[in-house]
């Protein structure tokens, strides 16, 4: 049978379209699979157990007491070891003690796990099994076992999966002296942050250069971090046991994570707890249209931190929170003590005021975007400077909880009259930070 050229052409075209359609389906399936696998999940668990060899005292009921912090830090260190050495090492995000109560010492804690894709169906069993398998010297006649130097009542061990809202409610106990506050105690002002959303923003009472600043005391700013490449380069803030937040411009010429070392937990630069950096994530819109716009980066640590009286995360504001003009806040860092001067060896602190947006725009004109805010002293003499970049602008609410209002970004030299410092408005980049870190 003779086949016309037009018929052959039609067959070829149809075949080509079918092949292209099949390829499109395959590409779409691969894309959807990757998208699903890259989706970040967080799951939370409430844990309880009794420690039999630690005597209970009333100071343990107060979350701002040194006794609470020391015992909580010890327990959290053990939890880090339990889960970092288990099959859940990649998913384990943090363990936070939220309350001690009477009954020998009854411990209440929250565990957070983070991963990509779908949450494993056996997650709950794996969380409890990892804890059980870490126990040693199990004595079934007395129903006791050891978690390092802690003697644990086996019957008291209990793990329950909880929602994010329940986890946040439990974590709020840390701020409120050991008990959750009723709704009526929450501040109603819309101008300032009302309550922390996770275990963050608390400072241990202390006995207490940024240009024009003074020496800080150990534990006074427990979220402050020094980022170093052989020596101090930039500041950063702790926002969880795995994540830091800093300024994007710190990493433009030095973006290899292995080049960096991180120090925290001490006011003396280059001392304290040390970590490496696993990954650096710079905001994709950094300086695309305006210099220093979206000047934010998040850094994943090489291994989790154990929180203590000297190491704590700062709270992140919600995307709706506003820090009103005139609010007194603090900047901290190891930057230059004077313009083009030497860096500080001891962490410096200085009080500054939030400057109105219109004043900020009038001063810096088109260089100011909605992702920026100004803070400083308009008469001059107090300001952040070289080496402070990436560090915190910290503001407290009416209950004394500290929030990261800004990230030190840029300015006109340092401490000049009528030229306040410019900061990343953290509320404006809050959603991006959560997408990257789960915090």
- Supply the residues annotated as catalytic: 249, 295, 389
The kind and range of the H/E element at 27 are: helix 5-38
Residues 6 or more apart in contact with residue 53 via CB below 8 angstroms: 104, 149, 150, 151
Q: Tell me the C-alpha distance between 316 and 403, whole Å.
A: 6
Angle at 95 between CA 37 and CA 332, to 5 degrees: 95
Residues 6 or more apart in contact with residue 365 via CB below 8 angstroms: none
Tell which residue, 330, 333, 380, 336, has the closest CA to residue 350.
Answer: 330
Q: Which residue has the tokens 């107090």?
A: 382
Q: Is-contact 268 245, C-beta < 8 A?
A: no
Q: Tell me the C-alpha distance between 125 and 410, whole Å.
A: 49
Own/partner pairs for 358-361, CB < 8 Å, 24+ apart?
A: 360/420, 360/422
- The string of DSSP codes covering 177-211 is TTSPPPGGGS---SSS--S-SSS-----------B
Residues 6 or more apart in contact with residue 171 via CB below 8 angstroms: 96, 98, 110, 196, 198, 199
Phi-psi region of 391 (alpha: psi -120 to 50; beta: other; left: phi over 0): beta
Q: Is-contact 212 381, C-beta < 8 A?
A: yes
- Pair of tokens at residue 216: 């800080």
Tell which residue, 412, 236, 243, has the closest CA to residue 332.
Answer: 236
Torsion on CA atoms 73, 75, 77, 83, rounded to nearest 10: -140
- Pair of tokens at residue 51: 């420690």
């Amino acid at each position: 049978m003779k086949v016309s050229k037009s018929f052959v052409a039609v067959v070829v075209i149809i075949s080509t379209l079918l092949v292209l359609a099949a390829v499109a389906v395959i590409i779409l399936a691969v894309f959807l699979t990757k998208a699903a696998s890259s989706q970040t999940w967080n799951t939370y668990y409430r844990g309880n157990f009794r420690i039999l060899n630690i005597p209970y005292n009333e100071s343990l009921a107060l979350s701002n007491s040194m006794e609470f912090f020391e015992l909580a830090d010890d327990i959290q260190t053990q939890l880090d070891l339990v889960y970092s050495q288990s099959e859940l090492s990649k998913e384990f995000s943090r363990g936070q003690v939220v309350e001690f109560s009477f009954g020998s010492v009854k411990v209440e804690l929250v565990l957070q796990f983070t991963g990509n894709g779908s949450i494993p169906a056996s997650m709950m069993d794996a969380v409890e099994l990892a804890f059980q398998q870490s126990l040693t010297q199990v004595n079934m006649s007395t129903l006791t076992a050891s978690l390092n130097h802690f003697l644990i009542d086996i019957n008291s061990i209990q793990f329950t999966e909880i929602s994010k809202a329940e986890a946040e409610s439990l974590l709020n106990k840390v701020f409120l002296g050991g008990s959750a506050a009723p709704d009526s105690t929450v501040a109603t002002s819309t101008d300032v942050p009302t309550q922390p959303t996770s275990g963050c923003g608390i400072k241990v009472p202390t006995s207490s250069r940024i240009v024009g600043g003074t020496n800080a005391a150990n534990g006074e700013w427990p979220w402050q971090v020094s980022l170093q490449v052989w020596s101090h380069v930039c500041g950063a803030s702790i926002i969880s046991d795995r994540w830091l937040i800093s300024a994007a411009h710190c990493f433009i010429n030095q973006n290899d994570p292995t080049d960096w070392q991180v120090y925290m937990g001490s006011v003396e630069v280059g001392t304290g707890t040390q970590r490496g950096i696993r990954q650096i994530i710079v905001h994709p819109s950094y300086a695309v249209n305006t210099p220093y716009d979206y000047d934010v980066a998040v850094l994943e640590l090489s291994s989790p931190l154990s929180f203590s009286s000297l190491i704590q995360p700062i709270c992140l504001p919600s995307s709706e929170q506003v820090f009103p003009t005139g609010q007194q806040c603090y900047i901290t860092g190891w930057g230059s003590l004077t313009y083009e001067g030497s860096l500080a060896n001891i962490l410096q602190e200085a009080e500054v005021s939030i400057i109105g947006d219109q004043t900020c725009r009038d001063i810096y004109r088109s260089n100011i975007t909605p992702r920026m805010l100004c803070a400083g002293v308009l008469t001059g003499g107090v300001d952040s400077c070289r080496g402070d970049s990436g560090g915190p602008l910290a503001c407290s609410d009416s209950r004394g909880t500290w929030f990261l209002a800004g990230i030190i970004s840029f300015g006109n030299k340092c401490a000049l009259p009528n030229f306040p410092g410019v900061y990343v408005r953290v509320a404006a980049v809050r959603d991006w930070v959560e997408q990257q870190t789960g915090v």
